[in-house]
Amino acid sequence: MAFAPQARSAGGGGALRDVTASIVVFLVAMPLCMGIAVASGVAPEQGLITGVTGGIVVGALAGSPLQVSGPAAGLAVIVFELVQSKGLSALGPILVAAGIIQFVAGVARLGNWFRAISPAVVHGMLAGIGVLIVVGQFHVLFDAKPRPSGLENLWGMPGRLMGLSGTVGSAEMAFAIGLVTIGAMLGWEKLRPAALRLVPGALVGVVTATLVAWALALPVSRVVVPANIFAGVKAPGPEMLAALATPSILATALAIAFIASAETLLSAAAVDRMHDGVRTDYNKELRAQGVGNLLCGMAGALPMTGVIVRSSANVQAGAVSRRSSILHGVWILGFVALLPWLLREIPMAALGGILVVTGVRLVSVSHVRHLFSHYGLLPALIWAATLATVVAADLLTGVLVGLGLSLLELVPWVRRLALRVDTSHHDAHSEIALHGAATFVTLPRLTSALERAPADKPLRLDMSRLDYVDHTVSEMLHDWLERRRAAGHRIDVDGATSGSARRFATAK
């Protein structure tokens, strides 16, 4: 999805714009926080606690001024499997350890390394997660619980449909509510008037399904939340320290920290492309996420990441600073504290319907077509292999398979992987000259050099002595050029002769 960069003003109207944007983000976040919690196999209030923490705490500490943090669909699958295999009690220690790992990584300035992960791996991972969410939440549409694995959920889908009968029972009514949610959500997004473009489709879907279920008094399962959200907070006990020393807990924490950090920083990079304001400080953002996940672990809530759906809503609604993210957390806290009875009217099938749509949108077939058309067969195969392994095995195995296959791009250049970046500044212009092979191995150093380039004078990017550009660096360079040129900066690209490098000269 392409977004036109939006100018940001911190003038007198900035506070008002942050307030209005925060309300939009709150309306998007509420159903997603609960739906992702249900998809993760935990209580809805645990997703809401993560949403509050991501808004108020991480929003105040964030290195990405317009990114919104909260429970992410990308981690729902791994949390569901974790709860099934290790029990709910293991979630707290794992998140505490994951938060510490993220914070230490931020202090060690490892943020840019997460941006070096191949886009084929990231989008393949998200596509696999999307498939798992769809096949799992398909059963929730019938007021049934998802099965323990993605393949079991997939094999069980035909039986679930064939089990529908001509009589109207609870499963049939729940399925109808799920379809109403999906229909209302998609219909609103397609037909909504321009004046109401900021009203999210997920909210319309949930409200419509809730009103239908309430008006017809349908006997379908509904959301269960406590009268007091803080009843969902589980204070850590002495067993927390013992669990933190368990090798299996630490291994799982490392996996969650890696995946959450990659998703957060890639989302932050996408948010930076949507506006021309302050850029993300990736290491500061990583430290903020670490604090957030540490607190979520202490409270027994869900893990968090920076989330692109809520973040893009924040940008499009006109946010100018971190106030918007902080306030959206305040609104979530106030709503669940004052109106928990209203949440209890929401049908579970409605949340399942929202997650089905979310899962389908994560499977970006257009991205794999883009990879194939611009970079050839190997990146497309990496995407497909990552997706298939995530679905057939698990999330971590899928990511490791994708990362392993990414190394194949380096094989022809294994003896010539060095990249030299020469930067020179003159009175009238600046120049960056690249020599050697530009691969994901050298991406952090290249990114730092590009971001330090002054924006107040023309820049010449000399690629005439560049032997090779892999698709990870190619995507980064293309996005950087588009963002700089969209902001009015003059950048000339010389010597872009390879197939992937020729895209840079035409970047808008």
Q: How many CB atoms lie within 10 A of CB 20?
A: 14
d(CA 76, CA 164): 28
For the chain, what percent of residues have pLDDT higher than 90?
A: 39
pLDDT at 271: 84
Q: Which two tokens stand for residue 391?
A: 């679905």
Residues 76-91, mean pLDDT to the nearest whole number: 86
Q: How far is CA 330 from CA 73, 77, 178, 295, 325, in A?
A: 22, 27, 29, 17, 9
Q: What is the DSSP annotation of 211-280?
A: HHHHHTT----B----SSGGGG-----THHHHHHT-HHHHHHHHHHHHHHHHHHHHHHHHHHTTBSSSPP
Lowest mean pLDDT segment, chosen from 98-102, 107-111, 178-182, 453-457:
453-457
Three-state SS for 364? coil
Q: What angle separates helix 323-338 from helix 14-39, to the nearest 10 degrees?
A: 60
d(CA 32, CA 203): 9
**pLDDT higher than threshold 90 for residue 358:** no
Strands 491-494 and 430-438: unpaired
**pLDDT higher than threshold 80 for residue 13:** no
Residues 431-445, mean pLDDT to the nearest whole number: 90
Those residues with Cβ within 8 angstroms of residue 135's Cβ, 6 or more apart along the chain or in another chain: 150, 153, 154, 157
pLDDT at 313: 85
pLDDT at 224: 86
Lowest mean pLDDT segment, chosen from 112-116, 324-328, 402-406, 477-481:
112-116
pLDDT at 3: 46
Q: Say if CB 340 and CB 226 are below 8 A apart.
A: yes
pLDDT at 501: 53
Q: What share of the chain is helix, strand, coil (3-state, %, to 5)?
A: 65, 10, 25
Residues 392-407, mean pLDDT to the nearest whole number: 87
Residues 22-31, mean pLDDT to the nearest whole number: 90
Q: How many CB atoms lie within 10 A of CB 235?
A: 9
Q: Say if CB 363 and CB 131 are below 8 A apart.
A: yes
d(CA 22, CA 32): 15
DSSP H/E element including 290: helix 282-299
End-to-end, the C-alpha distance of the chain in Å comes to 16
Phi first, then psi: give them for residue 476, nearest 5 degrees: -65, -45
Amino acid at 107: V
Q: Is 221 exposed, middle or buried (0-12, 13-18, 19+ CB in 10 A)?
A: middle
- Can you point out the beta strands (E) in 74-222? none
In the chain the domains, ranked by start, together with CATH numbers, are 19-349 (no CATH), 364-413 (no CATH), 419-505 (3.30.750.24)
**pLDDT higher than threshold 60 for residue 462:** yes
pLDDT at 4: 47
Q: If pLDDT is split at 50, 70 and 90, which confidence band does 500 have? A: low
Residue pLDDT, tens place only, 144-159: 988 877 888 888 888 8
pLDDT at 181: 96
Q: What angle separates helix 73-86 from helix 119-140, to the nearest 10 degrees?
A: 60
pLDDT at 457: 87
Residue with tokens 């940001």: 8
pLDDT at 449: 87
d(CA 340, CA 348): 15
d(CA 486, CA 473): 20
Q: How far is CA 343 from CA 110, 146, 209, 336, 346, in A?
A: 40, 22, 13, 8, 6
**pLDDT higher than threshold 90 for residue 246:** no
Q: Please, which contacts does 214-219 make with residues 24 or more away whose CB atoms are closer than 8 Å?
A: 214/345, 218/173, 218/177, 218/347, 219/170, 219/173
pLDDT at 356: 92
pLDDT at 6: 55
Residues 254-273, mean pLDDT to the nearest whole number: 85
- 432 forms beta bridges with 423, 461
DSSP H/E element including 374: helix 365-375
pLDDT at 329: 95
**pLDDT higher than threshold 60 for residue 276:** yes
Lowest mean pLDDT segment, chosen from 30-34, 97-101, 264-268, 340-344:
264-268
pLDDT at 50: 95
**pLDDT higher than threshold 50 for residue 85:** yes
Q: How many CB atoms lie within 10 A of CB 263?
A: 25
Q: If pLDDT is split at 50, 70 and 90, which confidence band does 305 have? A: very high
**pLDDT higher than threshold 60 for residue 370:** yes
Q: Say if CB 396 and CB 78 are below 8 A apart.
A: yes
Those residues with Cβ within 8 angstroms of residue 253's Cβ, 6 or more apart along the chain or in another chain: 93, 94, 95, 96, 97, 98, 101
Residues 395-404, mean pLDDT to the nearest whole number: 87
Residue pLDDT, tens place only, 310-339: 888 888 888 899 999 999 999 999 998 888
For the chain, what percent of residues have pLDDT higher than 70?
A: 93
Those residues with Cβ within 8 angstroms of residue 326's Cβ, 6 or more apart along the chain or in another chain: 22, 55, 56, 59, 60
Q: How far is CA 261 from CA 51, 56, 120, 236, 453, in A?
A: 17, 19, 17, 24, 26
**pLDDT higher than threshold 70 for residue 505:** no
DSSP H/E element including 170: helix 170-191
Lowest mean pLDDT segment, chosen from 223-237, 291-305, 340-354, 421-435:
223-237
- 422 forms beta bridges with 433
Q: Say if CB 199 and CB 27 are below 8 A apart.
A: yes
Residue pLDDT, tens place only, 156-189: 888 888 877 666 678 899 999 999 999 999 999 9
